[in-house]
Structure 1
Amino acid sequence: MNGIDPKRVDWTMLGTILILMTMSVAFVYSAQFKSAESHGDHWEKQLLFAGMGLVIYAALVWFDYKLFFTFSWWVYAGAIGLLLLVFVFEPINGAQRWIPLPSFTLQPSELAKIAVSIKLGAYLSSPDRDMDEWKTFFTCAAIAGLPFLLIATEPDLSTSLTLVPITLAIMLYMGVQRKLLLGGATAIVLVAVVACVWIKFERPPEGQPAAKGQILPPMPLLEDYQKDRIKVFLLQDYDVAGAGWNKLQSQIAVGSGGLNGKGYLQGTQNILGFLPAAVAQSDFIFCVIAEETGFMGGALIIALYTVLLARCMRVSLRSRDEFGRLVALGIGVMLFCHVFVNIAMTIGILPITGLPLPLMSYGGSFMVSTMIALGLVQSVYQRRRIR
């Protein structure tokens, strides 16, 4: 049944979302701030994106989420179509990830992650589905595999990799060929380890001196910037003036905040431009927050995300059917991946990636897609089973 019952709204989740959005606008402003006379207008756009997201969020809560079960193939096909459409447009900075629109650029890969959760949930929650059949396993792998390949081809490997834990979590919960899942997960880890070792010891470009042990030929498949990110993570002091600059400056920003921070609009790494303005407001927004509010502010952000993720898992547990349970689970895992990877890369315990921080990083596509995902979760909670 469509509609919104205020008594059945998860107000804790909604309140957490609003707090994170408010902090996002404030710190996007801070990330662009240079002086009282010099600041960007991205905070105004972020406020607009947040408003758009809230409208879509409310619409999705109003609609019964079972509608997406009925039209799951259309949702999935639409996401695939948008992923193919990006290749029609000219590359931006060497990548074809966006569809230009009048007011902002659409990044279909963000919508594809939600579509995969919906399609996997609809497929596996079908009453006649046999979880012990190999067909079920390989169909799920194909559902996630097609957008994975398209997103990786853009190239956007970090976003495509988020589909892996989403798919594994949903399949593991449903008990789909757990031996195959374990074998597949082991294979993925081994491939990642081999790739990292290969990249660490591959020969440098011709004309550059090779360090001890760098004897392997250049690794195929990955772009140079992707390999540079891994080298920055694995090799201490690797290209600190180039590929390693963002990592170094983000760690300095986080560490220099101390316990209570330097104060709002007082972050020197940001204001003086050591943390590049192009990334400070998006992928490295957590650095701006940590420098200005210190450990206490960073802990608050993590606490808010913990509440948000816990509410998603609670919705999954209280869903009235398997479809709602799987959708909420997939979205919860997706948000966890973004939060964990983004914060971990800023403090140097994971390689630098392009994964933004949900509800905080600047960007229209990501803000709206995150609110679509959370609107679906709230819709499941709105129609939960009363216990």
Structure 2
Amino acid sequence: MIEFWLAAGLLLLVALAFLLIPVLRGRKAQAEEDRTALNVALYQERLAELQGQQAAGVLTAEQLQAGQAEAARELLADTEGSEGAGAARLGKALPLIAALLVPFAGLGLYMHWGASQQLAELGDQRQPSIGEMTAKLERAVEADPKSAESWYFLGRIYMAQERAGDAASAYERAAVLAGRPPELLGQWAQALYFAGNKQWSAQLQALTDEALKADPQEATSLGLLGIAAFEGERFAEAITYWQRLVDQMPAQDPARASIQVGIERARENLQAAGQPVPEAVTKAMPVLKVRVELAPALQGKVQPGDSVFVFARAASGPPMPLAVKRMTVADLPVEVELSDSDAMMAQLKISSFPEVQLVARVSRAGNATAGEWIGRGQPIPSSTQERQQLIIDSADQAK
């Protein structure tokens, strides 16, 4: 029996060594930010926006209900995906979980091919609790205080227990032993930030500066600096840091939308205060340019005061418009620009989808969801810069 546990222990050490390589030395971005407070407020704002849009005739009652459900699902997803308050601040604990599961995989194989009768006697033993795993890691660092791996995982499990002060100490030891890699400096700074009741300090600034000097794309530091700037009402700084973070994230990354919500909130605060938006955000924001015309055959079938809605919607995604502008038939032909600033919902923007479709609709009743005539474009990349052409030439079948 002792031989089995010795083998399992060796498997655990091997797993820890393998998993630490991408954790400590990889460049994989771990977008870390405290989103909960922003998401709750944004949920309330989105509900008010949807109700206003229904009152203006842009949304039907069914679309209002769908939008409310979508907002609730996204809020719930952000909450459930956080893995607890402490875990959300740090990121996924997959390496730790995987490492701890390795001995149990060995146990299953050993029971199948090895001394199953002897090992069956252990079947009644329960799996270790998080407290027991913490105690084991604490004993590990006591036995080998020079193990950066053990200190790193101890810091992660402390963060999962909302022991940010203890986590900061563990990360400090891990960072020093590992040669101060930028990834660990960022997580050390993050733990200190939460341990200090979200108060910025010279030490935090020094750690994030050092991390970003070694790696200008270090995700945890960029996210942390953005949070601190936003909470300090330095909205231009928050936008700059978060935009740097978004620029390096894949388009399909679920965390990207949450960060863009923070950018939009900061941008709105700047505009409300009459301050300019950082150029980096203006350049990064996709702008779709489209010329809208009415087919000659329809000239006698419309009235100058009929409403015209020009909008972009996801080529593959929710049916509701991502951005919309309203005018009248008298304005045609007209050139229109659609961007994230015209978004109907903070979480649904042109930049959130790789492809979009442009649509123009004539509605005598002023209803954006149904009208008499329509023009549709083919799906195009949301980053398209070339001017598009839309001709309203077909009967609208949406009733």
TM-score after normalising by structure 2? 0.23
Higher relative contact order structure (alpha carbons within 8 Å, sequence separation ≥ 6): 1
- Between Structure 1 and Structure 2, which shows a larger proportion of strand residues? 2
TM-score (norm 1): 0.23
Query: Which is helix-richer, 1 or 2?
Result: 1
